[in-house]
Copies of this chain bind each other. A is one copy, B any other.
Amino acid sequence: MIQAPVKVKKYGGTSVGSVERIRKVAGDLVEEHRHQIPQVVVVSAMAGSTDELVDMAFKVANRPRSRELDMLLTTGEQVSIALLAMAVHDLGSNAIALTGAQCGIVTDGNFAQARIQDVQTAKIHRLLEDGNIVIVAGFQGVTLDQEITSLGRGGSDTTAAALATALKSSCEIFTDVDGVFTADPAIVPEARLLPWISYEEMLEYAASGSRVLHPRCIEIAHKFNLPLQVRSSFKAKAGTTIIRKEILEEVAITGVTGDAGIARIALTGVRDVPGIAAKISQSLADAGINIRLIIQGIRHDQSNDVSLIVPEQDAQRSGEVLQPVSREVGAEEIQIDTSVAKVSVIGSGVASNPSVAARMFQTLAKKKINIQLISSSEVRIACIIEQDQLESAIRAIHKEFGLEQLERKKVEPA
């Protein structure tokens, strides 16, 4: 029995956001089915439906319990897989819709942010061999006790990566953009689509405000060396493939991203004693707030200013949570500034090429953009700047590095 390799495809909420779009996706699946390509299709909830359900939950209860919130939210994907399977039948191909439980996506019991522990593939293989398109609900799993769990935001990407890994298949993420660009084309019209990008770079894109792929999905793909392809569900274009750094020709930087959804919290005049950062981190972690960046700047009078970057929607609550810590470490005051933004340059050559940082800072200086904080990693340099200067910063950096002419090549393995 000769069969083409299995393809795992993931369609996001916008791609299945209406009856017409569901029929369009069904048409694409049926077309590939006619070419005998075995397909496992992971689907998100229809765009907007998750927000509607969350909204209802918070009308019914002040603090909806996470077990029942997961039970509620997972209905969104159950609706979209059922509809997509019906649409495929209607076009004459066989399809089977499977919930996370039916598919055998086993997770731990951490509701709202469950981790996948096992993906059972026997049923999927059997259904594929019987000639079905297998349509799987993203975002959801089941514990060994039959409890319904969700994988948290972006969970459908994670489902797709986990299934592709378990099935040793390729993984295509269909979305409402054409792929990963050197910058947001809405800000930089000359931005170029990146045909290739490394896992490390893509993780930085995800952490730097790009909503294209969820970080957990990239981590799974990276861990298991799974090539991911991000492409448009509306156009027949190749998109961006995410692969190992070693098979990419190194270029200094591959893109510029901006993130306006952040806030800066500063504790000023903190006593210079060890363990302050740990105290602050712990308080915010206990409150479920994700710190994006924490920086201690030394002042001359033996006291510190400690600055944190948090998601903008958590700013007010962070201030409240930090009140007791602030008193404990003798801080003068807590400042909250939501008018900041982060501009990042991303590229596998950042670490090995110190001139990248220098050129970035000079470009911002020439534009009279003040840099408030800097952080860097192997593949990223991020600057916190004034929010109203963000677009101008992105355009200037994109131009400085000549990204409108970027040609990224894959290096054929030896």
Q: Which residues of B contact A72 (CB under 8 A)?
A: 78-79, 82-83, 86
Q: Which residues of B contact A183 (CB under 8 A)?
A: none
Give per-residue flags for A93-108: 1 if the beta carbon is below 8 A from chain B beta carbons, else 0: 0001101011000000
**Are A82 and B99 in contact, with the CB atoms below 8 A?**
no
Query: What's the nearest-Cβ distance from chain B to residue A162, in Å?
Result: 19
Contact segment of A53-61, A295-303, A394-402: A53-61
**Are A61 and B86 in contact, with the CB atoms below 8 A?**
yes
Q: Which residues of B contact A61 (CB under 8 A)?
A: 86-87, 89-90
Q: Which residues of B contact A62 (CB under 8 A)?
A: 90
Instruction: Provide the bound-state CA to CA distance between A53 and B83, in Å.
Output: 9
**Are A71 and B99 in contact, with the CB atoms below 8 A?**
yes
Instruction: Provide the bound-state CA to CA distance between A218 and B23, in Å.
Output: 41
A22 at the interface (CB under 8 A from B): yes
Q: Which residues of B contact A86 (CB under 8 A)?
A: 57, 60-61, 64-65, 68-69, 72
Greatest chain B CB density within 10 A among A56, A71, A79 is at A71
Contacts A86-B64, A90-B62; is A78 near B78 (CB within 8 Å)? yes
**Are A68 and B90 in contact, with the CB atoms below 8 A?**
no
Query: What's the nearest-Cβ distance from chain B to residue A249, in Å?
Result: 45
Secondary structure of the A side of the interface? helix
**Are B99 and A56 in contact, with the CB atoms below 8 A?**
no
A85 at the interface (CB under 8 A from B): yes
**Are A59 and B19 in contact, with the CB atoms below 8 A?**
yes
Q: Which residues of B contact A63 (CB under 8 A)?
A: 89-90
Query: What's the nearest-Cβ distance from chain B to residue A186, in Å?
Result: 32
Give per-residue flags for A66-82: 1 if the beta carbon is below 8 A from chain B beta carbons, else 0: 01110110110011011
A228 at the interface (CB under 8 A from B): no
Q: Which residues of B contact A65 (CB under 8 A)?
A: 85-86, 89
Query: What's the nearest-Cβ distance from chain B to residue A321, in Å?
Result: 23
Give per-residue flags for A128-165: 1 if the beta carbon is below 8 A from chain B beta carbons, else 0: 00000000000000000011100000000000000000
Instruction: Provide the bound-state CA to CA distance between A69 and B86, in Å.
Output: 8
Greatest chain B CB density within 10 A among A23, A60, A79 is at A60
Q: Which residues of B contact A96 (CB under 8 A)?
A: 67
Contacts A71-B82, A82-B71; is A99 near B148 (CB within 8 Å)? yes
**Are A71 and B60 in contact, with the CB atoms below 8 A?**
no
Contacts A75-B75, A75-B79; is A68 near B97 (CB within 8 Å)? yes
Query: What's the nearest-Cβ distance from chain B to residue A200, in Å?
Result: 39
For A89, the closest partner residue in chain B by CB is B65
Q: Which residues of B contact A67 (CB under 8 A)?
A: 96-97
Instruction: Provide the bound-state CA to CA distance between A366 and B288, in Å.
Output: 78
Q: Which residues of B contact A82 (CB under 8 A)?
A: 57, 68-69, 71-72, 75
Instruction: Provide the bound-state CA to CA distance between A62 and B59, in Å.
Output: 36
For A55, the closest partner residue in chain B by CB is B19
**Are A81 and B71 in contact, with the CB atoms below 8 A?**
yes
Instruction: Provide the bound-state CA to CA distance between A72 and B87, in Å.
Output: 13
List 8 A–B pairs whose Cβ atoms lie within 8 Å, in order of A's numbering: A63-B90, A64-B86, A64-B90, A68-B85, A72-B82, A75-B75, A75-B82, A101-B146
What 4 A-B pairs are tightest by C-beta distance, nearest first?
Answer: A72-B82, A61-B90, A75-B75, A61-B86
New A-B contacts (13) at CB < 8 Å, excluding given A61-B87, A69-B82? A19-B60, A56-B79, A57-B83, A65-B89, A67-B97, A68-B82, A68-B85, A69-B86, A71-B81, A71-B82, A71-B97, A72-B86, A75-B79
